[in-house]
Each structure stands twice: as structure tokens, then as C-alpha cells.
Structure 1
């Protein structure tokens, strides 16, 4: 089994957001509001570091200084970024060394509890995470197709005719099998035959 990189980074972003919300609640005594420093950077925290513009990076740094006195959010953000770094390695041995270092670092008692939880998760999924570095397999295309099919079903308010459902799915996916369309009787023909024309 292979742990998909998308889901692992999503988990790291979730832990980061949990740290942000906890710190904000402890400092301000309420959930995030528009003017709160940590609330204003919640989207920037989940962005990849290399995608941050110079202005966004400056805003992130400044508002972390204002709203994160104990550097817990900054620590969680660096943990997320170092986990993302794991997927830059193509050599399984280097990836294994990096993952072991991350687990050791994240499970340190000095880290925020949410980062420690992430470290324990990495430890329990160690082999599945490293399996990606030997196979480079992801289930992204499968999840995309499942999402497309679910949207088609939702838009159609359920389908009773599987052949029509299959044709709709193939058309939406951009890979229609035109020979299937020959089996569909046009509506006008059905109406005409019902009227006896």
C-alpha cells in the first residue's frame, strides 16, 4: 500500500490549522475574526513556501510575530514545509533518512501537541509513506474520476438507466465511446411510436 502525498500534506495542513486555532483561542479568548493576525494568514499558512510572493512572505512573517508569541504556529508551519520536502527526494534511502529525522523531530516533547500527533502518525505509516518513493504511484486520477462520476449523478438527481449514466460519464470525462450512442433510442422516435405515427 502507498500513502498518497496529497493526503499526507493535507493532514499536515490540518494539524497546522489546529495549532493556529488553539493558539488564537488561548491568546484572544475567541475564534478567529477578520482583524486577528493568525486568522488573516490562515490561507497563507497552507500555501507551499515556494508559491508565496515576496509580499505574502513578508505578511506571513509579520503577522506570525504579532499573533504567535511562543512560535507554536511557526513551528507547525516549518514542520509542514519539511514534510513537503520529503517528496522532493527520488532516492528511497535519502527519503527514509529524511522521514526518520522528521519523526524524531516531530515527536520531541518540546513540539506543539498537534505536531507530536503528526509525528506519531508518520511513524505508524512509515512503510506506506516510503512506498511512494519506490513506486511513485498516486491515486489522484482515480479520485478525480470518482469525483466526476459523483457530480454527474448528483446533477442528474440519480440515474435509473445505467446505459445513459455510462454515456454521460464517458462524455463528461472527454472519452466518449460513440458506438454506445447508437444503442440509445432518440426521444422523438419513442414519442412518435407511442402516438402511432
Structure 2
């Protein structure tokens, strides 16, 4: 059985083109939705289509990117379908898991996805090494200890040292400092406005 899945990203876009192509391909059931393909987006109809599929069924999409925004995510979905003995067909790119050519093309896409993942990992590691060589450590921004917060509060109340200097003394960026002391930003903006008049 051919099961279609059609998706557009916004309510302004029209599903007619995909719907017509899927019907012409012979889909007996078409799941449709207007949702972004971004990772983390809840695509109820997409998950409903996956749950509806049975071994030997074929999931048909108008274009490969209807499965998701990321190549890695798309390949993961196709691999999951393969393990469940469900076939896959993309009408625009002619990716058909039933043919040798289609399987080869999908494997090439999978290899590319893996290559780009590895490349991103390598770039991240190289960036962290370069930052470490300059004395900076990667990872999350430093959190202020209770002692740092108490000291910063005292300095803020004294009002003799600029916020940037207090942030430097406790070892965080000004942005991180404002996350802990939002009132410091407001009072600084108020001070700037007063001095401008």
C-alpha cells in the first residue's frame, strides 16, 4: 500500500501540488499538515503516518526534505523505515528504496550526512583546542558562586565601580552578569539617560 505524507511550513502555503502528485502516484491514504520541518517541531500527522505504516507499505513524499530539515534526521527516518521493512519513495528526486539506483542514492545521501556530522565534530574540537591554547575553556558560561554574588551585590550597592568592571572581577561576561542582576542593567540605562539630559 502506498501511503503519502505532504507538508508545508506555513498556513499561507498550499498543499495542492503535493496532494496531486501523491494521488497521481497511487497513494491510497495521504497524511497532511502545515508545520515547520525544524528539529523539535511536533508533527502529529507525520508521526500518525509512521504509526499507520505496515511492513511492505511504501511511504511516499513529494520531496525528500518533507521528512525534515536536517539530512541526518531524514536518513535516520529512512533507516528506521528500512528496519521495519517499510519502503520509501521520493517523487521529485526519484529515490525509490525498491530499486538498486534508489538504494544507492539513499546510501550516498546517508554517507554525506555522516560526513558532514563528522566534519562538524572535527571543527568543534579544533575550535575548542584553539580556544584552550589561548587560555579560554569551551563549554557553558561560568556560574557565579554565592560568594561572587554577595561581592557583586556589595559593589553594585556602593555604586563606585562600573558594571563591566564588577563583571570582570567576578569572572563573567557583562551579559552573564545581567542575567544574575537584571536590575543592574535597568539602573545603568537609567543613569545613561539621566546623564544625556
- TM-score tier by shorter-chain length is under 0.3
- Taking structure 1 as the reference length, the TM-score comes to 0.27
Q: Larger relative contact order (C-alpha < 8 A, sep ≥ 6)?
A: 1
Which of the two has higher C-alpha Rg? 2
